[in-house]
Amino acid sequence: MKIIKNFNKSILVLFIISTVLSCSKDFLDEPKNTAGLPESVVFSDRNIVQSFESGIYDRYKGQWDNDLGDGVNNSNVDTGGLYAMYFARTIKGNDLIQAPSWFLFDYAHENREPGFRRTNFTWEFNYEIINYANVMIRGVENSPDLDENTKKEFIAVGKAFRAFHYFQLALEFAPNYNNDRSIAKLPVYTTPATGASEPTAPSPLSEVYNLILTDLNEAIADLPEERLGKSYMRKSVANGILARVLIVTQDDWELASSTAKASYGGNAAAAVVSSNWGTGFDDLTDQDWLWGHFQNGSNETNFFWLSPHAMTDHLTLSYQATYVNTHFRDQFSDTDVRKLFFDIYGSATPYREFVTTKFEFTFASDVPLMRKSEMVLIDAEAQYQLGNEDNARSLLFALQSARDSNAIISTNSGQALLNEILLERRKELYGELGVEWFDAKRYRLAIDRDPEHRVEIDIPADSELLFLKIPQNEIDANPNMDDTINN
Amino acid sequence: MKVKNYYALLVFLMFGITSALAQGKTVSGMVSDISGLPLPGASVIIKGTTTGVSADFDGNYSINTSQGQTLVFSFVGYANREILVGTSNTINVSLTEDTQTLDEVVVVAYGTQTKQSIVGSIGVVSSGVIETQQVTSPLRALQGVVPGVSILTAGGQPGSNPSIRIRGFASVNNSADPLIIVDGAQFNGNINSISQEQIESVSVLKDASSSALYGSRAANGVIIITTKKGTLNQAPKVTIRSQIGFSNPTVGIHNLTGPEDYLKLTWGALRNTNQYENGQTAVEAAQNATNGLIDYLGYNPYSVTAPIDVNGNLVPGANLLWQSNWEDEVLREDYLRTNHNLSISGGSEKSTYFLSFDYLNEEGPVLPSDFERVATRLNLTTQVNDWFKIGFNTSFSRSRSNNPDQTSGNTTQAISWIYNLSSIYPIYARDANGVLVLDDAGERIFDLGNGNGRLPGQPINFTRPQLNGEHIIASLTLGKERRIRTNYLGSAFAEIKLFEGLTFKSSLSYENYLFDSYSFDDDLIGAASNVQGRVSQNRDLTTTLNAIQALNYKNTFGKHSISVDAITEAYTRTDDNLLSQGTGFLPGVDNLDGATNPEFVGGNIISDRLNSYLGRLSYDFDKKYYLEFSARTDGSTRFSEEKRWGNFLSAGASWVISNESFLNSNNTLTYLKFRGSYGELGNNQTPGFFPFESLFLTGFVNEGNSGILLDGISDVNLEWEKIESLNVGVDFELFNGALRGTVDYYDKESVDLILQKPLGPSLGVNQILTNVGSIRNYGWEFSLNSTNFNTDDFTWTTGINFSLDKNEWTKLPEEETVSGSKLWKLGNSLFDFYIRDWAGVDPADGRGMWYMDVLDANGDVIDKVTTKDYDGATRYDQDKTSIPDIQGGLTSFMKYKQFDLNVLFNFSFGAHLLDTDYSGLINPFETPGVSAHPDNFNAWQSPGDITNVPLLLASNNDHAARSTRFLFKNDYVRLKSLTFGYNLPQSTLDRIGLSKFRLFVQADNIWTWQSHKGIEPEQSFNGLTGNRSPLSKTITSGVILEF
């Protein structure tokens, strides 16, 4: 009896214990994090890596909040994305005038202090994408699942992003590259941030630009032309970025010209054809546009935030904040399709005399980020710098004749030709990329504001007003930096 | 030689024979209480052995023993009696009730222990204490009863659960809630699904040694809830308890001005702005204020065009056409609470059962809040044979409540509405003359403040300056906020006695908690009217499975007793959440089928698991010296594989000095015990189930392609937050238990605290969640209970308990961090206020002043001056916190013959409150239409006035901005519960055939004394108010029947 009793007992106990212990190994490994996708999943399939790239473009054109997950919305119209960064540059020049609305401090050149939102946004936005690029490059490199072609393509995409954003940082936070290539303002990272990462010491501009050029060259070699859509960065866009970099570094105009040609396709007359002038400058499908932000007005829109459209379009409910300098308007011939300036208010206030209808604001407006016409002008400038003034003039004329039926080919030469090219850049690209600011920095020009301006401030050549101070948050958190960096 | 041996042998033989003859004696008798009633199931044990029997239904017992042995008679709630077995074979014993030994057996981690052998710090609350209060969320009954436990209920929604902190605040980003165990298994449902009537006892494990067995989840303390079970050999006992009564808000909300006073104050503000900001003369300013008052506010509740004259008085002959007392409309008075409970418990020789049904229906202060719940429970155990025992506990609870928004930051929630909209705005739409405007059906229409139902162009009573398009009564009555909670909890155990002293227990517990939240925003009125209504419905299912296998060996060798536990546990919790939301509803349609536009869909299934191995060794010598060690190792899925496992150890010891020979016979100091423990616990309640994993968030889109983005970076090396905890304590009893008390000192430090560490933004990420700080909580806990009188007719016991708690940072990622209104720095607590210092009002111009530091060239402070510039004023570390210096409770129980009276007070002194509810009502006139407090009448009027209220202004000013002017001492004493009862005497009961009949009146929260009046003192741990609804005071009468 007792033996059977003990036997029963032990069987029962063993049975219970064995069922419990048998599952312990996998027990803790099984649960997976379903709140999102972990890295291992993201870099296992080409489509998911592609969606990471798509996510970055959504971040460019959205309503930028510096912390996606904290439940607090810190976004603002003038720091909403890539388009906002460009418009802050646009409004620093002489050709456009800003009313006291969004961007008023950028307009008045009093928005560069280390604690300001503009400074913080520009720094954090660009560095965030750089980290994304590093994550993409490392994730793709280390992936055991992706094929070689996918790897090459997306490493190239990552490098293109990284170069593009280091270029933006170098323009925004440092004086002109060629003034002093040894100035150190920017920490450089080529690996993703981890929990153990510490911010690094700033690198001299020469190193930054070396990285930019290396990245772009490697990217261009591996990037295909095909892409999911024109908001995606592929070979032609990468070439365009390189062309822009080269006209800042100004030490290889030959390469600048060939790169610009590779970007716009080589046939200038065909490249400059644009259907957007006079129709609202809001259509990404225009053959002239190489790259832009895409909106569809329903689930892909940032509503009222979109610069330049929401700032410049006075004919629709928008911020209606940007006006045009009458002297700039006078530069256009009356048959120029780009002369889209009207006096709709009849206002006595000098700065409010003209508005532009170049941009039509709707929730579905697309934003131009890079156009073939700009590349043609870069080619013209490079040809001029190489001494090939005839090539320069004919390239210039290719654009001018496409915009103005009464245009005649330029007879200028020397500095006058360069000035004409720079003026053409302003006439073609007004409101788009901050062309006055960009050219003033690289050619060490002054920006003299006409008296019609609401804030008449003159920017001397090489002024520190043309670049932002390093943010206080960075100085405080970076052991390799102190307040002297902003001296 | 041989002769001596032979005699020795004979002596031994004789003893042997005598003892042999003396064995085999059967002693029997009856065990009863002092009135002669049998005590069924009383235990009779031969002292010094483990041999014993239980008395049967009639109290009769029969035991094999021998002369010279001592029999120990015991029964729960009664004092033991020891009787020496003499020559007689019949021993009848009567036992007397002993209130002191009621808590002799205490439920501890994974088992029970006698109170004497506990080496740690455990607070016990019995059902007797819980039933003196009316608590829908049962843990509220712990307030003022267990020292060291802070309980705070935010807002008066019935069914809302309090926040509980045991011994301070040990975590910042991780959850600081204690672990809740119900009948041995972790509870993840909603506490308000457990009825207070079903709870037998609650043990609060406060220190390391008591909670070490819960290791990784025990850092914030453990609350063990044990539900009622039946007893062996007990006839079925039926208990019916029924209570019904009504409630009112305790302290209510701040005072608000009526229309006349409000217009006068607004007029004064306009006049002041005209005169002192816009430079008008006094006469002009007054005239313009009179003319512009109604324009400013938009509505005129009086019959004359300009109701306030140039002296600030009501124009004679002005009739009040309407006034809206929003508080009366939104907050109820005399709302109902009913609670009915039926329990049946009993047991045979081998089995026990407990069955309970509970129905509760409680309304809340805000229209139409309520909480209706049905909770059932069935607990069964049965002894299958002498080595095999099984048990099954199951409970099902379903509650349905209306939860109108009354505590959130929304500007249109119930309480915010009352504060944000003054009484001059009518409830129903009116025309320019104040006449009610009716709709086509002749009914009144709610005034939405945007001219609804009327033609455009109405000059006044048309557009409200605030809260347009909304109406609180419409959203409370037309909208719906319904919450349904279903909680099923089932656990089964099997206990196998392998051999004497060695038991194996296997238990499995399953919990299924479904939270269904349905929210409907009306299609015509309110925030969703531009999308024709919105329905949002959440269904969140939380399932928990907990399996525990435990081996326990207990034995006594002479004076040594040991008990060894070896336990393994597996725990898994799965959250299955579903959300859907749609808009576009026809009038009268409010279910998702009727949505014309599906707005949002979401869902996620995610799990959390824990695997543990633990052991405990207890040893005691002669019931005088106790030692206890425990060790636990846990693996949690919340950390990466390398960091998953944590080891937690603890040790404790106690010395019952009163059992020593030098104190044994002392009649004053009858019980004295020292105890101490030290141990390490862990906290794995991280924000999120996988905080160590960097994740890509989905939901982005570009050109129609779906996009993902990396959401920050996570620390893959994130590990357990650990708490190192020390506890020393003394338990004592004087005069044989007439005076009983405990004193505890605790010191615990949370290390590897999980905090957000700021990162350099050039890294691309702003902050990272990592182990980077330390916080220390330390303090004293006292409790003293006395039995003042204990005679047959009159009993009076009193008790007091309180704790002194301190909290301070010992390590931070940055030297100083400003966190809202608090300053975190080494030596400061989590809740030290860091705000501007109010410097009073300048009698010359009535402006408010604050203090400002004057710095020299090196940045050192050389002077402190006053300034009228709020932005320039300096913030100072106030050395005031929202943590009380002392908090606790007072109890008193009196019984005279058949009547009894029980009171419980709870108190808190030393905490501070930053009352932004109040500051929002002071000088609000820059925003037309916001309600104002009558204290505004104390404002500065003309040069030379000495007052603390600066001049009223209708223009931008900082007069009511955050400063020490609104930092109040928040001391309070509350009469938490008062019960007055009458029990029918035994003789009458016998005649009727009942075993208990009790009538009682119970009042909860009926009286409050507070240092800062006007608002409920229980707001939040961080000392900030937030437009929360008030708690309720409830008076009910009830009856308890037992048979």
Interface test with A, best of B509, B763, B765, B819 (most A CBs within 10 A): B763
Nearest residue, CB atoms, B696 vs list A30, A37, A123: A37
Q: Which residues of A246-283 are buried (b: 16+ CB within 10 A; e: fewer)?
A: bbbbbeebebbbbbbbbbbeeebeebbebebbeebbbb
3-class state of residue B272 by DSSP = helix
d(CA B45, CA B89): 16
Contacts of B761 in chain A (CB under 8 A): 120, 123-124, 127, 471, 473-474, 477
d(CA B917, CA B415): 10
How many contacts (CB atoms, under 8 Å) link A and B? 210
- Which tens digits make up the pLDDT trace of B136-165? 889 988 988 899 899 888 888 988 889 999
- Which tens digits make up the pLDDT trace of B583-618? 889 888 888 998 888 888 889 899 999 999 989 999
ipTM of the modeled complex: 0.88
B915's enclosing H/E stretch is none
Comparing C-alpha atoms, which of B139, B326, B132, B127 is closest to residue B228? B127
Structure tokens at A438: 């960009």
B392: buried, middle or exposed (CB in 10 Å: 19+, 13-18, 0-12)?
middle
Structure tokens at A219: 């990217």
3-class state of residue B58 by DSSP = coil
Q: What is the pLDDT of residue B519?
A: 94
d(CA B1037, CA B1003): 9
Contacts of A208 in chain B (CB under 8 A): none
Give the DSSP letter of residue B110. Answer: T
Which residues between 255 and 314 in chain A have a beta carbon less than 8 angstroms from any beta carbon of chain B?
A: 294, 296, 299-300
- Which tens digits make up the pLDDT trace of B90-127? 888 877 665 444 347 777 777 778 877 788 888 888 88
Read off the pTM.
0.79
Q: Which residues of B836-851 are buried (b: 16+ CB within 10 A; e: fewer)?
A: bbbbebbeeebbbbbb
d(CA B967, CA B675): 41
Q: What is the pLDDT of residue A6?
A: 65
Q: Which residues contact B409 (CB under 8 A, 6 or more apart)?
A: B1026, B1027
Which residues in chain A show pLDDT less than 70? Answer: 1-25, 68-73
pLDDT above 90: percentage of residues in chain B: 48
A466's enclosing H/E stretch is none
Residues paired with residue A226 on neighbouring β-strands, in sequence order: none
CB–CB of B706 and A24 under 8 A?
A: no
Q: Which residues contact B559 (CB under 8 A, 6 or more apart)?
A: B621, B622
Interface test with B, best of A7, A125, A194, A233 (most B CBs within 10 A): A194
To the nearest whole Å, the CA of A472 is away from the closest chain B CA by 10
To the nearest whole number, what is the mean pLDDT of chain A?
90
d(CA B128, CA A213): 80
Q: What is the pLDDT of residue B127?
A: 87
Q: Which residues of B279-297 are buried (b: 16+ CB within 10 A; e: fewer)?
A: ebeeeebbbbbbebbbebb
Q: Given 3-state DSSP classes, what are the helix, strand and coil percentages for chain B, each rounded to the nearest 5?
A: 15, 50, 35
CB–CB of A34 and B604 under 8 A?
A: yes
Q: What is the pLDDT of residue A62?
A: 87
Whether chain B has a CB inside 8 Å of the CB on A468: the answer is no
| Residue A71, amino acid | G
Structure tokens at B57: 């239904």
Q: What is the pLDDT of residue B551?
A: 92
d(CA B675, CA B731): 8
| Residue B552, amino acid | N
d(CA B250, CA B244): 18
Strand order in the sheet with B848-855: B838-841, B848-855, B861-867
- Which tens digits make up the pLDDT trace of B716-742? 889 898 989 999 999 998 887 789 999
Whether chain A has a CB inside 8 Å of the CB on B637: the answer is yes
Q: Residue holding tokens 């019960």? A: B979
Give the DSSP letter of residue A99. Answer: -
Q: What is the pLDDT of residue B120?
A: 83
CB–CB of A36 and B698 under 8 A?
A: yes
Structure tokens at B550: 């435990």
Is the Cβ–Cβ distance between B612 and B632 less than 8 Å? yes
My answer on whether omega of the bond before B368 falls inside 30° of 0, hence cis, is yes
Chain A residue with CA closest to B768: the answer is A195
Q: What is the pLDDT of residue B34?
A: 66
Q: What is the pLDDT of residue B256?
A: 94
Contacts of A161 in chain B (CB under 8 A): none
- Which tens digits make up the pLDDT trace of A184-239? 999 999 999 887 788 999 999 999 999 999 999 999 999 999 999 999 999 999 99
Which residues in chain B show pLDDT less than 70? Answer: 1-24, 34-36, 48, 50, 76-77, 79, 96-103
Which residues between 107 and 136 in chain A have a beta carbon less than 8 angstroms from any beta carbon of chain B?
A: 120, 123-124, 127-132, 134-135
Is the Cβ–Cβ distance between A307 and A83 less than 8 Å? yes
Angle at B232 between CA B550 and CA A5, to 5 degrees: 50
Give the DSSP letter of residue B276. Answer: I
Comparing C-alpha atoms, which of B491, B514, B648 is closest to residue B577? B514
Tally the C-alpha atoms within 13 A of residue B126's C-alpha that lie toward its C-beta. 10
d(CA B386, CA B499): 11
Chain B residue with CA closest to A476: the answer is B760
Is the Cβ–Cβ distance between B882 and B979 less than 8 Å? no
Contacts of B606 in chain A (CB under 8 A): 31, 33-35
d(CA B190, CA B139): 11
Angle at B327 between CA B255 and CA B528, to 5 degrees: 130
CB–CB of A474 and B644 under 8 A?
A: no
Comparing C-alpha atoms, which of B374, B380, B379 is closest to residue B357? B374
Nearest residue, CB atoms, A294 vs list B387, B702, B715: B702
Contacts of A35 in chain B (CB under 8 A): 604, 606, 688-690, 695
Contacts of A61 in chain B (CB under 8 A): 702
Any alpha helices (H) in B254-373, and if so which ranges? Answer: 259-272, 282-297, 326-330
Q: Which residues contact A440 (CB under 8 A, 6 or more apart)?
A: A93, A446, A447, A459, A461, A466
Whether chain A has a CB inside 8 Å of the CB on B243: the answer is no
Which residues between 823 and 862 in chain B have a beta carbon less than 8 angstroms from any beta carbon of chain A?
A: none
Whether chain B has a CB inside 8 Å of the CB on A54: the answer is yes
Contacts of A16 in chain B (CB under 8 A): 494, 504, 506, 549
Comparing C-alpha atoms, which of B123, B104, B209, B111 is closest to residue B164? B123
Distance of CA B345 to the CA centre of its chain: 29
